């Protein structure tokens, strides 16, 4: 952790000291690590499933006590100024970490669902702008993906890349970007997701198969968003907590990472379908579907046995596998994508594209970067050292967003009502 500078104004110094306390407390709350299932369950389950004898996985979660952590986080909330931008950030962040700690104390019970919903939301929540629900959006993308003819895909899009080969490719590209070894790419046989990123390490699941799209998605999503925001967060002297993956920032961070895939052309309809299937699966579990039913849902949707197990496992992290409960983190991807896309368009209209770049100064929410604007201008919060190439090309970004703003004024339903093809 960076040392707090001397000579800061009293209000900044006060909140910097509170942030240091919050960081020490929050480092023990390893949410995604502790809700994850132990390695090795997949092999036995799939063997039993092949014999027609599959049973619901039973997870023995540890009994955890974060009462000291929660007391310290409550103290941070109480001492932060609710009328100061740093105080708002600290109060909301400490509350988020406290909910995560409470969730971990309830592992294996249905209480996890309630706390997960408070942290990440649920499928029937409306998208930003009072649009359709997240689940409705997911069903839209699933239906579009199912209608597309897979024969239209180029041969290059169907060639599989091994985790070992992808490891070498990503490592070379990252070393070129940083002009040296800053982020290590490693293979991890115990990883539930196909990939995960920290500040200085990207993990790939050993044995997983990847496509060209996967490679580009990992570079843009994991490396150039999740890793870069963590690295830039480590540059912060006043708010070192910006290097941590706070639960309250998850929707913005995953939305920004998915937006990065979209704006670089790295996302395909198959990826949108996978994200959407997870949302539908969360909704199914909340409605009573058990692990085996959700596993079969992914199978029927075209996923492999191994990927179906991993996908169902994500839904049932930390909760009973008997149905009626779910870990709802996967609902944030589409909601976050819509929110970030809308924010970027708003920033263009308000001539504030600098806020979009400043989002990379650490792991923050869309509300944070707006409240932090004067602090970033004054250098209290350090602007990002590392940014992905697409956001540094301001003219190209502005051009795309300007077109998006105008194109959204064209109503496709009105065109469809004419019953004729579009002509120009």
pLDDT truncated to tens, each residue of the chain (424 aa)? 556 777 889 999 999 999 999 999 999 999 999 999 998 899 999 999 999 999 999 999 999 999 999 999 999 999 999 999 999 999 999 999 999 999 999 999 999 999 999 999 999 998 887 778 999 999 998 998 888 755 445 444 556 889 999 999 999 999 999 999 999 999 998 887 788 888 899 999 888 888 888 889 899 999 999 999 999 999 999 999 999 999 999 999 999 999 999 999 888 888 899 999 999 999 999 999 999 999 999 999 999 999 999 999 999 999 999 999 999 999 999 999 999 999 998 998 899 999 999 999 999 999 999 999 999 999 999 999 999 999 987 666 777 777 666 656 655 455 445 554 444 4
Q: What is the pLDDT of residue 207?
A: 83
Q: What is the pLDDT of residue 412?
A: 47
Q: Which two tokens stand for residue 265?
A: 């052309």
Q: Which two tokens stand for residue 151?
A: 């024969």
Query: What is the distance between the alpha carbons of residues 327 and 308, in angstroms, rounded to a whole number?
Result: 16
Q: Residue 387 falls within a domain, yes or no?
A: yes
Q: Residue 14 falls within a domain, yes or no?
A: no
Q: What angle do CA 31, 34, 39 make, to 5 degrees?
A: 135
Residue 126 three-state SS: strand
Burial of 300 (0-12, 13-18, 19+ CB in 10 A): exposed
Q: Residue 73 falls within a domain, yes or no?
A: no
Q: What is the pLDDT of residue 237?
A: 94
Whether residue 275 contacts residue 235, with contact meaning beta carbons closer than 8 Å, is answered with no
pTM here is: 0.89
The pair phi, psi for residue 197, each rounded to 5°, is: -130, 140
Q: Residue 419 falls within a domain, yes or no?
A: no
Whether residue 15 contacts residue 87, with contact meaning beta carbons closer than 8 Å, is answered with yes
Q: Residue 20 falls within a domain, yes or no?
A: no
Q: What is the pLDDT of residue 130?
A: 74
Q: How many domains does the chain have?
A: 1
> How many Cα atoms are found within 13 Å in the side-chain-facing hemisphere of 272?
23
Q: What is the pLDDT of residue 411?
A: 52
Q: Residue 418 falls within a domain, yes or no?
A: no
Give the Cβ contact number of residue 235 at 10 Å.
Answer: 18
- Unique residue bearing structure tokens 């051009």: 399
Whether residue 337 contacts residue 262, with contact meaning beta carbons closer than 8 Å, is answered with yes
Query: What is the distance between the alpha carbons of residues 417 and 415, in angstroms, rounded to a whole number?
Result: 5
C-alpha distances (whole Å) from 63 to each of 7, 59, 214, 320 are 44, 12, 37, 15
Q: Residue 321 falls within a domain, yes or no?
A: yes
Which residue segment(s) compose the domain that 166 sits in?
30-65+106-411
Whether residue 65 contacts residue 55, with contact meaning beta carbons closer than 8 Å, is answered with no
Q: Residue 16 falls within a domain, yes or no?
A: no
Pick the closest to residue 219 from 361, 390, 30, 394 (CA basis). 390
Q: What is the pLDDT of residue 157?
A: 52
- Unique residue bearing structure tokens 């999740």: 226
What is the Cα 54 distance to its own chain's centre? 31
Give the Cβ contact number of residue 44 at 10 Å.
Answer: 12
């Amino acid at each position: 952790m960076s040392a707090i500078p001397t000579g800061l104004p009293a209000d900044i110094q006060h909140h910097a000291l509170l942030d240091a306390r919050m960081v020490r407390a929050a480092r023990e709350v390893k949410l995604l690590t502790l809700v994850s299932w132990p390695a090795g369950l997949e092999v036995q389950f799939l063997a039993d499933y092949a014999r027609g004898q599959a049973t619901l996985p039973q997870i023995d979660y540890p009994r955890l006590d974060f009462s000291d952590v929660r007391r310290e986080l409550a103290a941070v909330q109480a001492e932060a100024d609710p009328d100061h931008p740093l105080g708002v950030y600290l109060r909301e962040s400490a509350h988020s970490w406290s909910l995560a700690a409470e969730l971990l104390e309830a592992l294996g019970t249905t209480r996890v669902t309630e706390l997960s919903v408070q942290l990440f939301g649920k499928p029937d929540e409306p998208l930003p702008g009072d649009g359709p629900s997240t689940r409705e959006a997911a069903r839209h993308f699933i239906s579009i993906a199912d209608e597309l003819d897979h024969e239209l895909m180029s041969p290059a899009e169907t060639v599989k890349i091994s985790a070992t080969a992808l490891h070498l490719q990503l490592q070379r590209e990252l070393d070129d970007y940083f002009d040296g070894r800053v982020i290590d790419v490693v293979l991890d046989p115990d990883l539930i997701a196909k990939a995960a990123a920290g500040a200085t390490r990207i993990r790939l699941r050993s044995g997983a198969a990847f496509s060209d799209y996967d490679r580009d998605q990992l570079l843009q999503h994991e490396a150039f968003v999740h890793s870069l925001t963590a690295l830039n967060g480590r540059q912060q002297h006043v708010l070192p907590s910006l290097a941590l993956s706070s639960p309250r920032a998850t929707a913005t961070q995953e939305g920004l990472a998915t937006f990065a895939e979209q704006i670089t052309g790295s996302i395909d309809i198959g990826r949108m379908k996978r994200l959407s299937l997870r949302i539908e699966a969360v909704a199914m579990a909340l409605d009573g579907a058990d692990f085996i039913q959700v596993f079969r849902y992914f199978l029927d949707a075209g996923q492999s046995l191994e990927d179906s197990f991993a996908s169902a496992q994500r839904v049932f992290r930390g909760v009973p596998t008997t149905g009626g409960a779910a870990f709802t983190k996967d609902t944030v991807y589409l909601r976050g994508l819509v929110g970030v896309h809308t924010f970027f368009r708003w920033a263009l209209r308000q001539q504030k594209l600098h806020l979009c770049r400043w989002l990379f100064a650490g792991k923050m929410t869309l509300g944070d970067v707006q409240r932090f604007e004067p602090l970033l201008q004054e250098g209290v919060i350090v602007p990002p050292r590392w940014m992905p190439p697409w956001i540094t090309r301001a003219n190209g970004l502005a051009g795309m967003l300007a077109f998006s703003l105008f194109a959204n004024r064209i109503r496709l339903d009105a065109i469809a009502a004419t019953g004729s093809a579009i002509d120009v």
